[in-house]
Structure 1
Amino acid sequence: MGCGGLGSPERCAGRDRNDRRSRRLAVDLRARWESVHAGDGRWTPPVARPAATVVLRRGALVLLLERSMTMSFAPGMNVFPGGGVSKDDLASADPLLACAIRETKEEVDIAVPVCHLFDRWVTPEVEDQRFDVSFFVADTEEVGRLTTTEAVAMRWIDPAEALHSHRDGFLPMLRPTVLILDALASGRVDGQPTAPPVPKLPRRRLDGRWDVVHAETNDVLVSGVAGPDRAESDGSSMTSEL
């Protein structure tokens, strides 16, 4: 991956360190996947922590934050504003919505007036940190400003341009981010869904292909697509077949 284009200097400085970490994790991850499929208890997947993120639109643009390379989860990834549900959020009638609104205000100083639930993804079972992430969509006229140390840059960008930069290697993202940007670029994010989104969990098969399963029922939603050997949070993304 090149260090030009939209990649930050911090990402360039941390890229080699992250790649070395990925190689060290490779053997452990294979053993963890084997344990998940065998159900032998050698690896117990951590409980996925409830989290929320906001796909924030300003006209034709969408807001992305570039996470710091010092973060233990998804370092250097370009993400939507969001984070884990807090104790204060749990006191709300809708903890996930409260989390989405709070995190957006804390990270980019934008007050979200109205948003609706659009998608839901769960971190793969082999990760040390796992999240059950609800993706909300909201519109704003505010530009905002970066107010978190968890990110090193923010950018308003056209979804199609973001996808192009990602494919050229300049905007690393996790697969759910890519899929949602693709939905935005193709106009598939309009109106409020009539049913709650299905919780989707990527699961690597022993033959190296990936399934996407229902996180609660284990029903296979998408079968046998190509994907990364590295951990999802370590900078890899599953292919566009998902």
Structure 2
Amino acid sequence: MSGIPLHGELGERARDILAGRVEPVPARDAATVVLLREGVEVYLLRRKASMAFAAGAYVFPGGSVDPRDTDHAISWAGPSPAEWGRVFRAAESTARGLVCAAVRETFEESGVLLAGPSERAVIADTTGDDWEADRLALIDRSLSFADFLARRSLVLRSDLLRPWGHWITPTVETKRFDTRFFVAALPPGQRTRDVGGEADQVAWVRPADALEQSRDGRIFLMRPTYRTLKEISVHRTVADVLATEREIVTFMPGVAEVDGEMRIVLDDDYGSGAE
């Protein structure tokens, strides 16, 4: 067991949490989507250095569930919230919010929309000033995802998503997320664009290349991102990734004192080159 050293205030916070003097911050439900295109390549965003959480890290599109993401008025095609709940071992209402957040956040952070005019179709083009206005309204929460879809007569396509993983932020962090990971293929005709916001750089990259860049110190990947890229790197096509049967295992790195130093630890694969 090695792990990531915790210095200064974070190290002291870790000691306090282990001693029961401080209660961990509750983890917020969140969703993230590994967007794929043939190659196999994944879409990554670099979070701005000014961000309070994961500053400078390359991440997949995603974010917290908005309470309005659980709106039953959202038109839905594909596996039901109840089915997603069984997959992620979550309540049906939680699962509904997670899937909606996955689709909404992907649109907000990449311009890609996993929805269509019917349960068998997907929107082919999300460029244009009207789409951009809606995307910005979703980001500032002046527009709900349900109203966005209804106004455009669109159906959320939950069948375009596949479950991949489940990570919970360590208890020592002051911002914590209970995040379900999804994978999805870039829909035909759609394309990503640099949408700004929380990211200062975006890129399509092969998982193996991202892993190498992380090991060389050229980019920063958090443990969940690193591990997910490692898992996807063994697949040769997007179809192979989407066809993978996944048993969703929950990972939450722990906090422990190792040789007198407080560390974040996950027993199986720290020391593989990732942070």
TM range (shorter): 0.7 to 0.9
Tell me, in whole angstroms, the C-alpha distance in 2 between the residues paired with 1:91 and 1:159: 35
Task: Provide TM-score, normalisation by structure 1.
Answer: 0.73
Deviations 1:193-228 (A, max 9, x none): 354x1221001211156543xxxxxxxxx36x656x
Q: Conserved in 2, the CA contact under 8 Å of 1:67 and 1:151?
A: yes
Higher relative contact order (CA 8 A, sep 6+): 2
Give 1:15's aligned residue: none
Count residues in correspondence.
195
RMSD of the alignment, in Å?
2.4
* Equivalent of 1:130 in 166, 170, 176: 176
Tell me the equivalent position of 1:108: 110
Contact kept, 8 Å, 1:106 with 1:148, in 2: the verdict is no
State the one-letter code of the partner of 1:166: S
CA distance 1:31–1:170, shift in 2 (3 Å): same
Q: Counterpart of 1:202?
A: 253
> Cα distance 1:110–1:226, how it changes in 2: closer, same or farther (>3 A)?
closer
Deviations, residues 8-40 of structure 1 (Å, cap 9, x unaligned): xxxxxxxxxxxxxxx9x72222222223323x2
The percent identity for this pair of structures is 35
Q: Give the structure with higher Rg (CA).
A: 2
> Matches of 1:88 and 1:192 in 2, distance apart?
31
Of 245, 262, 274, the match for 1:193: 245
Which runs of structure 2 are paired with 1:12-91 in the superposition (5 Å)?
A: 26-38=7-19, 40=20, 42-59=21-38, 60-91=40-71
Gaps of 5+ in 1: 1-22, 213-221, 228-238
* Pair 1:124–1:194, CA change in 2 (3 A): closer
Trace 1:151-230 onto structure 2 (pairs within 5 A). 151-187=199-235, 189-193=241-245, 195=247, 197-207=248-258, 208=261, 210-212=264-266, 222=267, 226=270
Q: Distance in 1 between matches of 2:246 and 2:169?
A: 25
TM-score when normalising by structure 2: 0.65
Taking the aligned partners of 2:52 and 2:246, their CA distance within structure 1 comes to 36
Structure 1 residues 210 and 150: alpha-carbon distance in aligned structure 2, compared to 1, 3 A threshold: closer
- In the alignment, structure 2 segments of 5+ residues that lack a partner are 73-80, 82-95, 115-156
